[in-house]
Structure 1
Amino acid sequence: MFLFGRNVAQGARLRALRALYRSFNEQNGPEARARRLLREWLSPEQRAQFDVNGFFEVTGSLTGRRYRIHQGTMSNVLELDEKLEPKVGWCFLPERALAVGDVMLAQKIALETDEAAVLAIAKSFSPRLPFVPRAMRRAPQI
Structure 2
Amino acid sequence: MTAVSRRSALGIGAGALALVTVKPAAAQFVRKDGAATLEAIRAFTGGKEAAPGKIVMDIPPLVENGNSAPLKLDVPGLGDGVFVRRIGVFNEKNPLPETVTLHLGPRTAPRVQTRIRLADSQTITAIAELSDGTFHSATADVIVTLAACVEG
Give the structure-2-normalised TM-score.
0.27
Greater per-residue strand proportion? 2
Greater per-residue helix proportion? 1
Structure with the greater relative contact order (CA < 8 A, sep ≥ 6): 1 or 2? 2
